[in-house]
């Protein structure tokens, strides 16, 4: 019966693809969306002063014809605190202007809208900023914060890394060598990752900068990448839960169940919280990269997005070997925000509306623990150059929480803010990051050359 079902499904899919191909052959490919939409705040940079009213102009065309009379529903509020009920207006000449009101405190105002056209419902979320440089975190820094983490890292460094290597033939060729490596990064903590090294490149002497990429949230499989190796860097993409990356997809799905709810596990104490071993483990992975004979001995870059962005900042703050820090839309920033009726960072602890943010201990005990893990406190410790990129329309890692961390950084820093992006990045943002890394590596090489009397 199951085989029959899959045979029918396969034939249906083949038939659908055949119809699609036939349509394209007969009528050609559409070069534009049938319904085209542009939503633009009345301040081009999406930034406002306190008390300034904001408006969102939505332009929509159906098959090139401006919408006329179509109802657009919308609701406006401080980000992540939108009201239940919608207001509405209508498109006139293809345009609808949505009045958003204003804010009297630094933060983000959000507008969610939707309408039907061409037989489909279209919806989007747009946020605008109110004096974001003035956003301050609600998370205090404990007096013993640095001492706590220095002790934790010192203890982890007593444990030999004991790297185990496994061949990855599919990601190894005449340009790159890739290994799956498993590392003992703490007393009872292991991590796995794909390590990719460029083969000898002319002018490098066979020695390269190292790039560590911590993962986003969850417990998904990771995969090798040649993005940084193509640029002449050693690259390690890690998985933080020690799930065996060699398992089949079905077996991995079972393996990863052990990670359910990890973001709140052990929150009753700073010593038992799940992220303690993760934070220290990422710092130990940097120690491993710096033992590789192919490392150039100078450049250590950490970069990642979301949870990986949080771990990027944490790793750069904890490990003195890191020389560049490039987080994208970091999570775990200003996690106390929701306690003050303001958008906080993922996992949205204390929000009451996000399943990953459910805490298993009373709020006072949770806040006592979380102040040792809030990324804003690690941002305060950064001493190396920082490149950070994020967008305003992110509803996972709120821009309010990211700005709260950014505003605490005293180290040299460069930002790339793209107001229209959500929980993702434009290719141009990644390109800017790579250019920034390249400049940093070259400036470090120049400094070494001067010290050695070569210039």
Of the listed 241, 351, 398, 423, which one is catalytic? Answer: 423
Spatial neighbors of 250 by CB under 8 A, at least 6 apart, are none
Q: What is the DSSP letter of 412?
A: -
In DSSP notation, 85-102 reads: SPEEEE-BTTEEEEEEE-
Q: Does residue 347 have a cis bond before it (omega within 30 degrees)? A: yes
**CA dist list (Å): 27 to 14, 19, 119, 336:** 20, 12, 21, 55
Tokens encoding 40: 């633009």
> Is 200 a catalytic site residue?
no
In DSSP notation, 340-384 reads: GTS---TT-TT-SS-GGG--SS-HHHHHHHHTTT-HHHHHTT--S
Q: What are phi and psi of 36, to 5 degrees?
A: -105, 135
Q: What are phi and psi of 263, to 5 degrees?
A: -65, -15
Of the listed 242, 394, 416, 421, which one is catalytic? Answer: 394
> Is 306 a catalytic site residue?
yes
Of the listed 306, 351, 401, 429, which one is catalytic? Answer: 306
> Is 394 a catalytic site residue?
yes
Distance CA(70)–CA(60), nearest Å, equals: 10
Distance CA(153)–CA(186), nearest Å, equals: 9
Tokens encoding 6: 């899959």
Distance CA(302)–CA(212), nearest Å, equals: 5
Q: Which of 87, 81, 88, 125 is nearest to 103 (CA)?
A: 81
Q: Annotated active-site positions, please?
A: 306, 394, 423
């Amino acid at each position: 019966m199951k085989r029959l079902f899959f045979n029918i499904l396969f034939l249906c899919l083949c038939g659908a693809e055949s119809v699609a191909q036939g349509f394209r052959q007969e009528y050609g490919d559409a070069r534009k969306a049938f319904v085209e939409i542009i939503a633009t705040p009345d301040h081009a940079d999406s930034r406002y002063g306190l008390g300034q009213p904001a408006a969102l102009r939505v332009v929509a065309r159906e098959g090139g014809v401006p919408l006329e009379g179509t109802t657009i529903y919308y609701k406006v509020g401080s980000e992540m605190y939108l009201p239940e009920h919608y207001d509405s207006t209508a498109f006139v000449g293809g345009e609808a202007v949505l009045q958003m009101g204003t804010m009297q405190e630094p933060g983000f105002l959000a507008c969610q809208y939707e309408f039907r056209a061409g037989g489909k419902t279209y919806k989007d979320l747009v946020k605008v900023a109110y004096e974001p440089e003035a956003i301050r975190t609600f998370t205090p820094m404990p007096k013993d914060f640095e001492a706590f983490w220095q002790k934790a890292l010192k203890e982890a460094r007593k444990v030999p890394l004991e790297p185990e290597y496994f061949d990855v033939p599919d990601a190894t060729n005449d340009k790159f060598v890739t290994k799956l490596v498993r590392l003992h990064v703490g007393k009872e903590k292991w991590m796995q990752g794909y390590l990719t090294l460029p083969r000898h490149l002319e002018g490098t002497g066979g020695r390269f900068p190292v790039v560590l990429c911590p993962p986003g949230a969850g417990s998904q499989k990771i995969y090798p990448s040649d993005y940084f190796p193509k640029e002449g860097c050693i690259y390690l993409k890690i998985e933080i839960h020690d799930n065996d990356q060699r398992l089949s997809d079905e077996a991995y799905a079972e393996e990863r169940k052990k990670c359910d709810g990890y973001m709140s596990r052990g929150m009753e104490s700073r010593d038992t919280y799940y992220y303690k071993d993760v934070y220290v483990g990422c710092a130990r992975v940097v120690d491993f990269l710096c033992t590789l004979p192919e490392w150039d001995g100078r450049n250590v870059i950490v970069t990642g997005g979301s949870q990986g962005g949080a771990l990027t900042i944490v790793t750069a703050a904890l490990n003195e070997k890191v020389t560049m820090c490039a987080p994208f839309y970091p999570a775990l920033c200003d996690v106390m925000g929701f306690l003050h009726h303001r958008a906080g960072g993922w996992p949205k602890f204390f929000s009451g509306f996000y399943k990953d943010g459910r805490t298993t201990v009373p709020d006072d005990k949770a806040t006592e623990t979380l102040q040792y893990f809030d990324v804003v406190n690690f941002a305060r410790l950064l001493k190396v150059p920082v490149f950070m990129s994020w967008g305003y329309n992110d509803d996972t890692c709120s821009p309010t929480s990211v700005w709260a961390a950014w505003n605490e950084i005293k180290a040299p820093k460069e930002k790339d803010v793209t107001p229209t992006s959500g929980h993702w990045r434009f290719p141009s943002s990644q390109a800017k990051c790579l250019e920034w890394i390249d400049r940093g590596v070259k400036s470090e090489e120049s400094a070494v050359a001067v010290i050695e009397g070569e210039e």
